Amino acid sequence: MKKRLRYHIRGFGYAFSGLGTLLRTEKNMLVHLLATLVVIALGWWHGFGATKWCLAFGVIGLVWICEAFNTALERLCNVVSKEYHPVIRQVKDISSAAVLIAAIVAVVTGVLLFFF
C-alpha cells in the first residue's frame, strides 16, 4: 500500500514538473496564464454562478491541454527528425491548429458568458 501511494505521489511530481516546464519555456503558456487570471477576475467581478464557472474552466482547461499536447508533439517531432520533413511539418501544423481551435472556442464562450 505504501509503495503504491509513493508511486502515485511521484506521478503527481512528474506532472507538476511538466507544468513548470511549460510555464518556464513556452511563451504562449504565459499568455494563457494571463488570460486565465483575467477570466477568473472578471468572472468573480461579474458574480458567475456554478454553471458559468464550469463553462469558463472547461474552455480554459481545453486551451491549456491543447497547448500542452502541442508542445509535447513539437518537441517529440524535433527529436525524431532534425531535418525538414513534410509529414513532421503537417503534424506540427495540425497540432497548432488544435490550439487555435480551442482558443477560438474559448473566446466565443467567453463572449457568450460575459455579454449574454
**pLDDT at residue 102, as a whole number:** 98
* Stated pTM of the model: 0.90
pLDDT tens, 10-40?
A: 989 999 999 999 999 999 999 999 999 999 9
**Tens-level pLDDT at each residue, the chain (116 residues):** 778 888 888 989 999 999 999 999 999 999 999 999 999 999 999 999 999 999 999 999 999 999 999 999 999 999 999 899 999 999 999 999 999 999 999 999 999 999 99
**Using H for helix, E for strand and C for coil, what is the string for the chain?**
CHHHHHHHHHHHHHHHHHHHHHHHHCHHHHHHHHHHHHHHHHHHHHCCCHHHHHHHHHHHHHHHHHHHHHHHHHHHHHHHCCCCCHHHHHHHHHHHHHHHHHHHHHHHHHHHHHHC
**pLDDT at residue 61, as a whole number:** 98
Architecture of domain 27-115: Orthogonal Bundle (1.10)
**pLDDT at residue 5, as a whole number:** 83
Domain ranges of the chain: 27-115
